Amino acid sequence: MKSSQGLASDTLVRTTTGAKRVGDVQVDDYLYDAGNRPTLCTGVAPPATDQLKKIMYHEFDSSEWTSFTCTPDHRLTLTTTGTRPCISGNRVFWFTRCDRQLPVKEACDLHLDILSDYFYQDLVRGDNHPEPATVHAYIETARETIHTSMDIYLDVLSSRRAEADEVDSMDKVFQDVGSTDEVFSIDELNQLTGDLNVPSAEYSLPEEPFVQWDLASSQSTHSYVPSSQPPPPDGDPRSSSPLSDSSSAYLDNAHADRFAAVRKSLDSINCDCGGLRRVGRRFKTEEQMQLALKILQGDLHHLVDPLIVNDGEEFSMTIGEYERLCSKEVKRLYLKLYRTPLVFHPSTLSAGPQALLVDPYFLGLWLGDGDAANTRITSSDPETPVWLKSYVDRLNSSKQPDDNLYLAETLTHAAGTVMANGYRSNCDVFQYRIACLQLRPGKTNNPVLDGLRRLGLLGNKNGGIPHEYMAADEDTRLAVIAGLIDSDGSYNKRDNNYRFTQATDGHRKIVYDLKELALSCGISVTGVSLHMTTSPFTAENPHTPVYAIYLGKGSEKFQKHLLIPRKKMTGAKTYYSHDARPFKVVDAPAGEYTALEVRGGQFQLANRLVVYN
């Protein structure tokens, strides 16, 4: 194959056998497509040399700049963020396509809402009621004749999760991650670019010719039961049912005429850049403005603007086409590179939860706040002994009565006393130990103590999280994470993320294992940071290393396992997109590049960034 479009030969791409240089990829290698599925490399062009461009962006889950280098005519795969319609001042604002052309793949969409409405109308107005088999055959025929090339694209948008490899660790990453999705005031936008389409005309809508906007098929309050009997003579659904008036709301031109003037003003946009721009329209009344906003945010947006652009829409263009886009605002804030999701990775080595020696939540709790020499856990939270007692009861349900376990409780620091670290306790601190009655001198039957010993953790936590838990099912992994957060984690309500720390080099591996565990569950994690702190416990070694990571998007997964109320997410903050990045294009020196051809046309770089052939 021959191609003038390609990536620098030293660019790393993601393959089924690991990261590989573009220049080392061979035909029949499998890369990953935009949907995280293996895709076959069907062609590799000989290396060539040409002038190159560098695409610079902030690495995912990091504040560090990274980049990839490619030819000037390389195609970019971009997604939109922050484009939801809104009201600012006395206008409704949204984004629309500049060239006033539907994308080609729009014709491939299967509009199930419209089709179901057609099917419903055919049903209630027809004389014959089809049998279920006939309906299924009709639907299958329709599906077989509809092009489904959008499926991969929709899979990407519906399942995106976050992933980070080895990245920078700083809370500022999560504080700043949403800064590029900022909603500006109209005056600020005018000063920023001056390319908004905001005419001064005021739009007054004609009287509303219908009562409601819903499709007929969504109004029925009863289930359709197939019957061979025709409807009664006086049961014409077109005249007796309130569904008939709203059934044509989707198709009747009279309804669309209310916004005809708005659509006509949009069609006057004279730009063929192939991008998008922000537009604003002012309506006569607040009620009309709210109606327009509601329609734009819903499935009937085509009544106002059939070419509206929403979050998650994909744009494909060459670097040259991108640089010629008319809106600087769009390039800076709303059109971004994106990566594919991180998903849970099941392990083929997993033996299942029945093979686990101790409860996964207990393991996390003990690794954080437990005594390495025994089953003792230190805590000031009242939820901890309640859960530990329930764990003891579960274990006792399979033991003989004279061999039962019990939960021993010891008050170590009363509220107001000074602890060993020099801080004054503001609440009672207890130690809880799962113990069992001694059957005879030196002999006990404590499955928790025995489990920690068999895992190689008793007396030494340096081994981190055991492999049995790292390779377990997703729910087990999430329970371990929750135990670690409930013990040595803290919740940052402002930024809606978690910080987990461990002091001393002996506990370093616990932090790195938690990072790997969280990533495997689709949770966004920063890299591990290290700082030195003064230790109040060791006079001969006053400087102690502290290792820390932050867990962000995806942390809602382990909420059901958390016990401590103050560590549960409030849900008040909406996540910004951690999977999309604004970028800039700069000139690069001439260099070697290699062109690849894969099935489907898209593949991933090593950090899961999606690129084209």
pLDDT, average across residues 21-28: 94
- Give the per-residue pLDDT at 61: 74
- Characterize 146-155 residue by residue with b for buried, 16 or more Cβ atoms within 10 angstroms of its Cβ, and e for exposed: eeeebebbeb
Please name the helix (run of DSSP H) or strand (run of DSSP E) that holds residue 450, with its range, or none: helix 447-454
- Give the per-residue pLDDT at 172: 54
pLDDT at residue 218 greater than cutoff 80: no
Q: How do residues 263-289 score in pLDDT, each as one tens digit? A: 889 988 888 899 999 999 998 889 889
In a domain, 306, yes or no: no
Q: How do residues 553-569 score in pLDDT, each as one tens digit? A: 889 999 999 999 999 98
Higher pLDDT, 231 or 597: 597
In a domain, 581, yes or no: no
- Give the per-residue pLDDT at 199: 65
What HEC string does 485-551 produce? HHHHEEEECCCCEEEEEEECHHHHHHHHHHHHHHHHCCCCECCCEEEEEECCCCCCCCEEEEEEEEE
In a domain, 379, yes or no: yes
Share of the chain above pLDDT 70, in %: 69
| Confidence label for 310 from pLDDT (cuts 50, 70 and 90) | very high
- What is the distance between the alpha carbons of residues 368 and 487, in angstroms, rounded to a whole number? 5
In a domain, 279, yes or no: no
Phi, psi of 350 (to 5 degrees): -65, 135
CATH code where residue 451 lies: 3.10.28.10
- pTM summary value: 0.60
Higher pLDDT, 553 or 43: 43
- Give the per-residue pLDDT at 241: 35
Q: How do residues 399-408 score in pLDDT, each as one tens digit? A: 766 678 999 9
- What is the distance between the alpha carbons of residues 236 and 233, in angstroms, rounded to a whole number? 7
- Give the per-residue pLDDT at 577: 60
* Highest mean pLDDT, choosing among 104-118, 341-355, 356-370: 356-370
- Give the per-residue pLDDT at 255: 54
pLDDT at residue 442 greater than cutoff 60: no
Please tell me the total count of domains within the chain: 1
In a domain, 573, yes or no: no
The two three-digit tokens of residue 382, written as one number: 């009242």
Lowest-confidence region among 225-229, 253-257, 269-273, 564-568: 225-229
Supply the range of the domain harboring residue 533: 353-567
In a domain, 404, yes or no: yes
- Give the per-residue pLDDT at 527: 85
pLDDT, average across residues 51-78: 90
In a domain, 530, yes or no: yes
- Give the per-residue pLDDT at 559: 94
Location of structure tokens 């083929």: 348
pLDDT, average across residues 40-68: 90
Higher pLDDT, 62 or 110: 62
In a domain, 436, yes or no: yes
Residue 448 and residue 467 in contact, taking contact as beta carbons nearer than 8 Å: no
